[in-house]
Amino acid sequence: MDTVRWKVADPLGNEIHLTEENVQFHIIGKHDSKDAEVRAKIEPQARFAVENPRFVIRDIQSPGRVKYLNLLIFKTARTF
């Protein structure tokens, strides 16, 4: 079984957990190395979004799964 990094309850009373596999695959490993520093800071923001979402929406591609959305701003070194 995959290592659980944290468990929290969402506002709907569901227990949500983040596994090591999801961190490595979805947050860290699936992306370009240019934004690695910012991605390393995403885990606490993801937890906050699950506990304090602005929106909870159903995932139409995966029945029974929901997405937790919050408006987050990450400070980066890049300017546009």
State pTM to two decimals: 0.71
Q: 25-47, pLDDT tens digit by residue?
A: 877 776 677 777 777 778 888 89
Tell me how far CA of residue 61 lies from CA of 41, 47, 48, 58, 64, in angstroms. Answer: 27, 23, 24, 9, 9
| Confidence band, pLDDT 50/70/90 cuts, at residue 9 | very high
Question: Domain segments of the chain: what residues?
Answer: 4-69
